[in-house]
């Protein structure tokens, strides 16, 4: 039995906390780097913000958006 976890099926002591295993940096980077597919019919936020007047053309350029 390791000091961090009890053996499988071992009774637990009420009021104690067992630390969860820490994820490595590679596991965290792999989870954050996976591609997220676009939702069908989802619009571009930069275009929406430009249409609403929240962004001007200079701000859109700074974000890398396309000019109409």
To which H or E segment does residue 25 belong?
A: helix 25-33
pLDDT averaged over every residue in the chain:
77
Let me know: does 46 contact 63? Beta carbons within 8 Å.
yes
Tell me which residues of the chain have a pLDDT lower than 50. Answer: 1-2
- Which token pair is 36? 């997220």
Given 3-state DSSP classes, what are the helix, strand and coil percentages for the chain, each rounded to the nearest 5? 35, 0, 65
Identify whether the C-beta of residue 54 lies closer than 8 Å to the C-beta of residue 47: no
pLDDT of residue 14: 64
Tell me, what's the pLDDT at 54? Answer: 92
């Amino acid at each position: 039995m390791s000091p961090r976890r009890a053996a499988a099926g071992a009774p637990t002591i009420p009021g104690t906390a067992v630390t969860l295993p820490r994820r490595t940096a590679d596991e965290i980077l792999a989870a954050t780097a996976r591609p997220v597919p676009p939702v069908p019919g989802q619009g571009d936020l930069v275009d929406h913000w430009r249409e609403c007047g929240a962004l001007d053309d200079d701000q859109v350029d700074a974000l890398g958006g396309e000019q109409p």
